[in-house]
Structure 1
Amino acid sequence: MTAVRRWIAHLDMDAFYASVELLRYPELKGLPVVIGGGRRHQPEVLADGSRQFATLRHYAGRGVVTTATYAARDYGVHSGMGLMKAAQRAPDAVLLPTDFEAYRHYSRLFKQAVAEVAPVIEDRGIDEIYIDLTEVPGTQEAVGHDAFGGVRAVAQEIRNNVKRATGLTCSIGVTPNKLLSKIASELDKPDGLTVLTADDIPARIWPLKVRSINGIGPKANAKLKALGVDTIGQLAECDAAWLLEQFGRSYGAWLYRASRGIDDRPVVTYSEPVSMSRETTFDRDLHAVRDRATLSAIFTDLATRVADDLQRKRWVGRTIGIKLRFEDFKTVTRDLTLPAPTADAQLIRQAAGQCLKRVDLSRRLRLLGVRVGSLSRPGVGDAVSLAGAAQKAAAAASRAEPRRTRAQIEAERAALEPELPFGEGDEADEAAGQPSS
């Protein structure tokens, strides 16, 4: 009896956000297009019905590239790059605002299309999934002289189903495990299908840079390069004991296995989220006092959006946190735990404001985020009174805040008067019928 061969697929949508936008604006097909603009970059409909698009040439701000079409990538533009830097490389690239509602819609569509063929799916984000094809009918069969023709045909059927359901293309890597499949899905992008076995590792995997392995980040990559290890093949030649000595017992052992394509992780069909968050990078650096009204509105909006996410997905959380990135790129986080879980926007906003009191806000801000963690499903008794939560939050903030001298406190108060920081005071002003200063 022939042994059952394990087949794991990694499906990655091709330039997902940008591809969704090209469905809406087909006249941009083949052009360099960058996603990451704001509402002001919405295309303008002209009198003749045509559209006028914003470009990167005159962009000024702190935004980053969410994604880009392959034509834009040819200019060296990539996800996570600052839009100002992207403008230097591709000034005539079209700039479009992000539309996450549309992206979530198409994400649901492509995952449903995959499930019609292969239902064992691990969701890895809005545009990628792992699929266990081992038990899918036909995957263990040969087709003509192709010993792997069966699994190749099933993978192609998945790709066809995704295209029919969404109008979008995807790339699939099919191998014996998740580590190799993640690499394989990148080999023939876009619109690619790659099937590899362990026998293909020397020819297809070892020539690649070590950064191609998901799990080798910038720091590990830099250290490997300094040690003379640049490709996966060179990593595979390293002695296990030497890797343990250089990178520690756990990570060193993982590097040894990963370079040889060894990975026994199962496809996990369900995992609970650890937290939910929303954050935004500002077009210009903002000051806690001088830009109080703007920051206050953004702060409230972030808390509201996190609450909406929680309510839509039926979660509540106890740990409320904030993330701040300052003009010098230093990042700080603060959090506190409520007496009971919540998904209430006002309570999340109030607790996040308590976190804000524990941060020195004298520097200007470039990023602000609100996070809710320690998630659970809502149950009886989860409602929390605002007054009780505020008292708990204030006590938690007081305990966590380092002791300051009276002179320090008075100096901080003098620096902020007559205005309060953007995280506090708004509700009190409104309750008293006074305009928020």
Structure 2
Amino acid sequence: MPRWVLHVDMDAFFASVEQVLDPTLAGRPVIVCGRAEERGVVSAASYEARRYGVRSAMPTVQAKRLCPDGLFVSANHRAYREYSRRVLSVLKRFTPLVEQTSVDEAYLDITGCEKLLGGPVAAAGKVKEAVRAETGLTCSVGVAPNRLLAKMGSEMQKPDGLTLIRAEDVPGLIWPLPVGRLHGVGPRTAAKLRAMGLQTIGDLARYPVDLLEREFGVAGRHLHDAANGRDDTPVTPPDEAGGPKSLSRETTFSRDVDDPEELERALLALSEDVAARLRREGYRGRTVTVKIRRADFSTVTRSRTLATPTDLTEEIYEAARSAFASYWRPSVKVRLIGVGLTNLEAGGEGPRTLFDPREKLQRVSRAVDRIRDRYGERSVVRARLLSRSRDGPPKDTGRGRGEGP
């Protein structure tokens, strides 16, 4: 039985959600930032903004120079998560084999049910129609016999595209592309391949596999297989793949900061946001990592591992503060700071004892979560955070998975 995989990639997801929420933004250059100020970075840009050269991860000040008439909006991650949930709900109507790989991407294995849907291409069309009808958003879909080719197909005709790549299409469609376009090939690997004289994916596909293994080890064979369109990676639903590996949040300051009070307030706000995400998604974490980006853009991380996993702000903050203090000195000016949790495990509130002091914190935390869910994030604010600078809410980095094209 031939295998058929779809890769669904939402188009300019964050910016598109903003345009759906505010129809006056439709057709206009929308630029989503961690905060709509000059020291942050662009989280997403609508296709109208991309015509000016605006791209994700670009400093906001550069985006303003390129697109002075752009509409800069602060990121609304609660809305993006909700629309991501709606999209996922739509996809699961077509097959139980759905693997979401980021907030705006997912794979579907429709093998065995593609005929019921009118064939793989018709199935992809129906997915696009259903997503648009339910959410008002467009997506691009790649259709192929494996994940690799489906992923590459979804990138070929953005936005609102549908691309079929069969095994026999690889020489004509894939091989002429620059070697850096091969999914999984990063800038360093691409540079090394070009230095070896391999400019296109076709050059890589025809290169002797033993020589690739000599240069790249085991990865050399994977590169050769990928260039030839071979990939047997299964589509694995979440209950088989396991939970997220990490959750993190970070914020970029409007100026370089060396005030310990301001830095500690930022750590507290980030810890609170991470803890709320953990509770919302039903996880606890054991290892707390602080990310520090200095004024010269050099970046360091420091970690602390807890005796027991937690989803409590207070415990995450104390570990983050300890990790931060192990590195920071008054001479260090900080541009960006982040807090992340790894070594996650699913679970509720953990084991309790009769006089467990954590139980009260758990009850209070969940009560605050319920109030914020109903009345908004700012309905309950810690007194210490009322004196925060105007840098605003942290940027949500989710699980290390950024928004795609």
TM-score (norm. length: structure 2): 0.83
One of 65, 79, 94 as aligned partner of 2:71: 94
Maintained 8 Å contact 2:264/2:321 = no
How far apart are 1:62 and its partner, in Å? 2.2
Structure 1 position 385, deviation (Å): 6.0
Rounded Cα–Cα distance in structure 1 between residues aligned with 2:285 and 2:9: 31
Distance apart, 1:296 and its partner CA: 2.2
- Once the two structures are superposed, residues 271-314 of structure 1 have per-residue CA deviations (whole angstroms, 9 ceiling, x without a partner) of 22112111112222111xxx233222211110001110111111
Q: Within 1, Cα distance between the matches of 2:34 and 2:24?
A: 19
Q: Please give the secondary structure, in 1, of the residue aligned with 2:15.
A: helix
Higher RCO (C-alpha under 8 Å, 6+ residues apart): 2
Which of the residues 73, 79, 94 maps onto 2:56? 79
Letter in 2 for 1:30: G
Residue among 19, 24, 28 paired with 1:27? 24
Aligned to 2:33: 36
Work out the CA distance in 2 between the residues paired with 1:157 and 1:5.
Answer: 20
| CA deviation profile, 1:105-134 (whole Å, cap 9, x unmatched) | 111111111111222100111100000010
Tell me the CA shift for residue 382 of structure 1.
6.5
2:243–2:346 CA contact under 8 A, matched in 1: no
Query: Would you say the 8 A contact 1:342–1:382 is kept in 2?
Result: no
Which residue of 381, 396, 421 corresponds with 2:351? 381
> In the TM superposition, what are the counterparts of 1:367-378 in structure 2 within 5 Å?
367-378=336-347
For residues 207 and 68 of structure 1, what CA distance do their matches in structure 2 show? 28
- Which of 111, 114, 136 in structure 2 is aligned with 1:167? 136
Instruction: Please give the alpha-carbon distance, in whole angstroms, between the structure 2 residues aligned to 1:82 and 1:307.
Output: 28
Cα distance, 1:382–1:310 mapped onto 2, change above 3 Å: farther
Match of 2:303 in 1: 335
Structure 2: runs of 5 or more not aligned: 359-383, 385-405
**In the alignment, is the contact (CA less than 8 A) between 2:45 and 2:55 conserved in 1?**
yes
Q: Tell me, yes or no, if structure 1 residue 304 matches structure 2 residue 272.
A: yes
Q: Name the CA shift for 1:128/1:11 in 2 (closer, same or farther; >3 Å).
A: same
How many angstroms does 1:75 deviate by?
1.8
**Aligned pairs for 1:342-361 within 5 A:** 342-361=310-329
Distance 1:305 1:161, change over 3 A: same
Is the Cα contact below 8 Å between 1:15 and 1:67 reproduced in 2? yes
Segments of 5+ residues of structure 1 without an aligned counterpart are 42-58, 142-148, 387-425, 427-437
2:296 counterpart SS class? coil
Give 1:320 shift: 1.4
Q: Counterparts in 2 of 1:170-181, with a 5 A limit?
A: 170-181=139-150
1:5 counterpart = 2:8? no
The separation in 2 between residues aligned to 1:123 and 1:111, in whole angstroms, is: 8
Conserved? CA contact 2:15–2:30, under 8 Å: yes
Moved over 4 A (4+): 382-386
Which residue of the partner structure matches residue 368 of structure 2? none
Larger Rg: 1
Distance 1:85 1:233 in 2: 36
Partner of 1:312: helix, strand, or coil?
helix
Summarize deviations over 1:80-111 as a string: whole Å, max 9, x none: 11112222322222211110011111111111
Q: State the secondary structure of the residue aligned to 1:191.
A: coil
SS of the aligned residue for 1:124 comes to strand
Q: CA RMSD in A?
A: 2.0
Of residues 265, 273, 284, the one that matches 2:255 is 284
CA contact (8 A) 2:14 2:44 kept: yes
Aligned AA for 1:265? Answer: T
CA contact (8 A) 1:37 1:95 kept: no
CA distance in 2, matches of 1:185, 1:309: 30
Q: Does 1:209 align with 2:178?
A: yes
Q: Deviations over 1:146-187 (max 9, x none)?
A: xxx611111111111111110111110010111111100011
1:252 corresponds to 2:231: no
Deviation at 1:256, TM superposition (A): 0.8
The answer to whether the Cα contact below 8 Å between 2:5 and 2:143 also exists between their aligned partners in 1 is yes
Matched, 1:125 2:93: no
Partners of 2:59 and 2:114 lie apart in 1 by 46
Q: 1:329 and 1:163, CA in 2 relative to 1: closer, same or farther beyond 3 A?
A: same
**Using the alignment, how far apart are the partners of 2:113 and 2:244 within structure 1?**
28
Q: Does 1:261 align with 2:238?
A: no
Residues 14 and 32, structure 2, Cα contact 8 Å, conserved in 1:
yes
Q: Any conservation in 1 of the 2:177–2:200 contact (CA below 8 Å)? A: yes
Which residue in 2 is equivalent to 1:48?
A: none
Quick one: percent identity of the two aligned structures? Answer: 41
* Alignment match of 1:197 (pick from 144, 158, 166): 166
1:400 corresponds in structure 2 to none
The amino acid across from 1:276 in the alignment is L
Cα deviation, 1:38-66, whole Å, max 9, x if unaligned, reads 2xx4xxxxxxxxxxxxxxxxx6x321111
SS in structure 1 opposite 2:176? coil
Counterpart-to-counterpart distance in 2, 1:20 and 1:199:
37
Distance 1:262 1:37 in 2: 38
Alpha-carbon distance in structure 2 between the residues aligned to 1:23 and 1:244? 48
**Corresponding residue for 1:186?**
155
- Give the number of aligned pairs: 353
1:240 equivalent in structure 2: 209
SS of structure 2 residue aligned to 1:66: strand
Q: SS state of the match for residue 75, structure 1?
A: coil
State the shift of 1:30 in Å: 2.2
State how far apart, in whole Å, the 2-side matches of 1:293 and 1:357 are.
12
